[in-house]
Structure 1
Amino acid sequence: MHQFRTVEGPIPVVALIDERLSTTTICLASKYGAQQDPVGQCGLAHVLEHVLMSAPVGTVPSLSEHVERLGGHANAETGLDRMLFYAQVHPDDADEVTGLLYRAVLEPSWSDGVLEREKRAVFQELAVAAADPSDVVQDDFLAHLFPGHPLGRPVAGTKADVERFDTATVAAAHAQRLLAAPLSVIVVGPALPKTVDPVVVGMDPRTLAAVGASPWTPPASPPPEPAAAVHWADEFTWVCAGARSVPNHHPRRPTFNVLAQLLGSSPSSVLYRRLRGEAGLAYTFQSWNRGYADTGAWRVLAGVEPGNGEAALDVIRTALDEIATHGPDPDDLTSARRQERMRVLTSIDTPLECARYLAMRGGGPGTWSPADEVAYIEAVGADDVRRAAAQIRDGFRAVASPAAR
C-alpha cells in the first residue's frame, strides 16, 4: 500500500511513497500562472516555462535533454493559475534529477540565445493552436466568460507580446512572480529523494528567502459578457458552452465535477444518451469543470456538423434545465459519482498523472488527500447537483469556431 508523507521546509513537500513503484516522479509546482502576466505581456509565464526547461544547468545542457538521455521524461506546463515542472526517472537517478530540477527552476542561468530560440518555438505553438478550431473556441469562450480579466487571456500569449520579451523581462518575471508565488514539491515513487530538501542541494539562501515572499491576489472577476447568438459556419464547427462555477477550494467544487460526469462523454451519461444516441447530433464531445483561485468555469466542448449546432445546444440546455428543475435521476447520479470517483483513482494509480493531480489539487502539506476527494464526491447529493445545474443553466453562454464569415 502507498502512504502519504508531508515534509515542511523552505519548499513544502507532499509525497506518495509506494515501494512497489519502479519510477520516481518529481513535480515542482508554482502558483504563478498566466493570469499574472501584466497587460501587454500576455504569454510571459509560458515563455519563462520554456526557458527554464531549456537553459543549461551547470554542466548539463538542459534539464529536459539530460532527463531524456537518462531514459526518463521531463516536461512543464503553464496554466492560468499555476506552472508545473516535472520529471519521471529511474529511482537511481532521482537524487540527481531533483537537485537539477530545483536549480533549473529556482536558480536559472539566463541567455539571450536560449530566449530567442524558445520564442521561435512558442511562435510555432501559437500557429498550431490558431489552426485548431477546438483550441480557438476554448480561448474565445473564456474571453466571453471573463471579459477584461486575466482569466480571459490566452495562456500561450500573443505573437506581438511574445516578440517584445527580452531576457531582462523574463528574468524579472522569475524573480518577482515565480519565486514570490507559493511553491510546493510533489514526489511519487518508492522512496523520498535525499535532495528533496533544497538546503541539501546547497541553494543560495537568498533564493529560498524569496520563495513565497509576496503572494499575489487575483483581481475580482467582472460580470461575464451578455449571452449572444452563436454564429455558425457552413462547415464542421466546435462549440464551447457553459458558465462560471466555483473556485478551486470551494466546498461545492466536487458537485460541479459530478455534474460534468452527468453530462459527459461516457455512455452512462445523460448527455451521451441524448446528444449522441437519441439525436445523433455529435460524435465527439466532453464536459469538465475547472476551478481557479476566485472563480471557476464549467463547460461542454462538442464538434457538430453544419446545421446541427443550434439543435445540439438545445439538447444541452434542456438536459441542464431538467436537472436544475427536477434534480438528477437517482441511478444517473450514482453512476456520475462513480465515474468521478474513478477519475480520481485512475489519476492516483498512474505516477506521473498522480503527481500532476496532487499538484493541481493540493493546498499544501496536510490540507488535502485523494481520500478526502473521494469522500467529498460520495457526499454529493441530488439537491447539490440540482443547484449546480441551475447555476450553469442561468449563466449559460456558447461560442463557436470557426465562426461564420
Structure 2
Amino acid sequence: MASTAPIPLVPIVDERLKTTSVCLAVGYGSRHDPEGKGGLAHMLEHALMSAPREGGISVSEQVESLGGHANAETGPESMLYYAQVGAADAEAVAGELCRAVLAPQLTETLLSSEREVVLQELAAAEADPADTVQDAFLATAFAGHPLGRPVGGTPAEVAGLTLADVLEGHRNGFLASPRALVVVGPEIPASLQHHDAAPAWPRAGEHLPLPPLDPPEPLRWSTEFSWVCLGGRSPAANSPERHPYAVLAKLLGASPTSLLYRAVRGEHGLAYAFQAWSRGYTEAGAWRLLAGVESGNGDKFLAVVREVLARVAEQGPLPADLASARNQARMSLVLNAENPLERATLTARRVLVWGPEWSLEEELAALARVTAEQVRQAAERLACELITVVRPEAR
C-alpha cells in the first residue's frame, strides 16, 4: 500500500466538542518484527514521533506547542498515533500527523538518540515486576509464537537495530499494513475529506498455529513484595465468543462488587492492588489477572483465586453478580466513548479488526446478552489450563 493512498476514514462528529482528536491506527506491531530484530516496531514508533519536520520540530512538539497532546503506542498487532488539539488547529495537525508517520525523514542521528531513550525505557520496565510479570505471562501463554515476544524487544536486539532495518520495516511492513484514521470532533478537517469513509476494508493478520501449552512449572516466590499474573488463552479479537471473557474479568476484577474483591480483600485481606482483563489478538486472546501480594501471602492468594474461579466454573455466577459484571463491562466502554481521545483510540483498535461496520452500540448490546452459562464455560476453560507466573522470582 503506497503511502500516498487515501487512508480509510472513520469520522465521529460531535458538535458539542471544542477539541478534535485524531488517531491513525496501523495493523503492524511487535509480532511482525523479523527474527532477531525484536523491538523494531517499537523503535519505529519512537522515531516517527520524534523525527524533525518542517521548521526543525517533531509532530509531537508541534502539537504540544498548540496546547494539545500527542502520543503513540505499539502493541503486538497494532500501532496507534494520536493527537488531541483545539478544533481550530485540527486542520493543520491532522495532515501533519499523517505526513509525519507515512513520509518521515529518518536519520542515523535520530536513530542513535531514540535508541538510548528506548534502552532507558526497557531498563525502567525491567526494574518493575508489575511490568516483567506481564511479559512473562505472555511468553508462557504463547511460547514459541510471535505473540509471546516482548513488545519492546530485548536490550541486545534494540542495540543491534540499524537505520536500514528501521527503514525497511517502515517501507515493507508498516506501509504495507492495513490502516485507519479516526477523527472525533465538531467537524471533520477539510484536508481529510478526500479519504474514503467506506472503503473496501483490508483485513490484517496472518494466522500462525498456536503451540500447545507447556506443563506448568513450580512457582518460586521471592521474600519481597511480588506481582503475580494468572489466566489463560481467550477467544481471538474477532470472535463473537470474546464477550463472556470480558464479563468474567469484571466478575473477578477490582470493583467492590466483584466476587474476588469480596474474597481477597473483604474476607482474607490478601491483596490491595489487582485487576483483570481480556485482550484479543489474531489467533487467540489472553485473559489475565494481575495482583500485588506481600511476602508469604502468595500461595494463600492463589488458593482463594482458584477457589472462586472453580466455583464460577461449576455453578456460574448468581443473577445479581452477573448483572453487576455486565454493567461494569458495558460502563467501561461507555466511559471511554465519552472521552473524545479515548473514543478515537477505542474505535481505531476495533476498526482494525472489524472494519468500519464496528459499532459501539452493537458491542454494548452483545455484552448485555452474555449469559451465566457462557461465563461459566469461560471460567471452566480458564480453570482447566491456568497459567501462573510471578515476579520477582526467588534466586
TM-score normalized by structure 2? 0.95
Match in the other structure for 2:84: 88
CA offset digits 1:337-390 (Å, max 9, x no partner): 000110000000001111111112223553211101110001100111011111
Query: Percent identity over the alignment?
Result: 49
How far apart, CA to CA, are the structure 1 residues paired with 2:124 and 2:176? 32
Gaps of 5+ in 2: none
Among residues 118, 124, 131, which one is paired with 1:128 in the alignment? 124
Match in the other structure for 1:314: 303
Q: CA RMSD for the aligned pairs?
A: 1.7
Per the alignment, do residues 95 and 403 of structure 1 end up closer, same or farther by CA in structure 2, a change over 3 Å counting? same
How far apart, CA to CA, are the structure 1 residues paired with 2:256 and 2:238? 29
Q: Which amino acid in 2 is paired with 1:169? A: D
Among residues 311, 333, 358, which one is paired with 1:368 in the alignment? 358
Per-residue deviation, 1:199? 6.9
Contact 1:60 1:66 (8 Å CA) reproduced: no
How far apart, CA to CA, are the structure 1 residues paired with 2:194 and 2:386? 46
Contact 2:29 2:77 (8 Å CA) reproduced: yes
Among residues 189, 195, 200, which one is paired with 1:193 in the alignment? 189
CA offset digits 1:117-173 (Å, max 9, x no partner): 100100110010011000010001111111111111110111111111111110100
CA offset digits 1:14-48 (Å, max 9, x no partner): 12210001110000000101111111000000000
Among residues 332, 340, 362, which one is paired with 1:343 in the alignment? 332
Among residues 290, 313, 317, which one is paired with 1:324 in the alignment? 313
Q: Which amino acid in 2 is paired with 1:330? A: P
How far apart, CA to CA, are the structure 1 residues paired with 2:204 and 2:240? 23
Match in the other structure for 2:133: 137
Per-residue deviation, 1:59? 2.9
Verify: 1:254 aligned to 2:243, yes or no.
yes
Among residues 165, 179, 186, which one is paired with 1:183 in the alignment? 179
Match in the other structure for 2:273: 284
Match in the other structure for 1:58: 54
Per-residue deviation, 1:61? 1.2
Per-residue deviation, 1:12? 1.0
Among residues 98, 123, 130, which one is paired with 1:102 in the alignment? 98
Partner secondary structure for residue 240 of structure 2: coil
Among residues 370, 380, 391, which one is paired with 1:401 in the alignment? 391
CA offset digits 1:80-106 (Å, max 9, x no partner): 110000000011111111110111111
How far apart, CA to CA, are the structure 2 residues paired with 1:403 and 1:347? 36
Equivalences, count? 387
Verify: 1:32 aligned to 2:28, yes or no.
yes
Verify: 1:231 aligned to 2:216, yes or no.
no
Matches for 1:193-212 after TM superposition, within 5 Å: 193-197=189-193
Contact 1:180 1:215 (8 Å CA) reproduced: no
Per-residue deviation, 1:301? 0.4
Partner secondary structure for residue 77 of structure 1: strand
Per-residue deviation, 1:224? 2.0
Contact 1:12 1:365 (8 Å CA) reproduced: no
Contact 1:241 1:299 (8 Å CA) reproduced: yes
Per-residue deviation, 1:220? 1.9
Per-residue deviation, 1:194? 1.2
Q: Which amino acid in 2 is paired with 1:76? A: A
The more displaced of 328-337 and 57-66 is 57-66
Per-residue deviation, 1:192? 0.7
Per-residue deviation, 1:60? 4.8
Per the alignment, do residues 297 and 199 of structure 1 end up closer, same or farther by CA in structure 2, a change over 3 Å counting? closer
Per-residue deviation, 1:215? 5.3
Q: Which amino acid in 2 is paired with 1:64? A: S
Match in the other structure for 2:252: 263
List 4+ stretches of structure 1 deviating above 4 A: 197-200, 211-216
How far apart, CA to CA, are the structure 1 residues paired with 2:303 and 2:215? 18
Partner secondary structure for residue 181 of structure 1: coil
Partner secondary structure for residue 122 of structure 1: helix
Contact 1:25 1:355 (8 Å CA) reproduced: yes
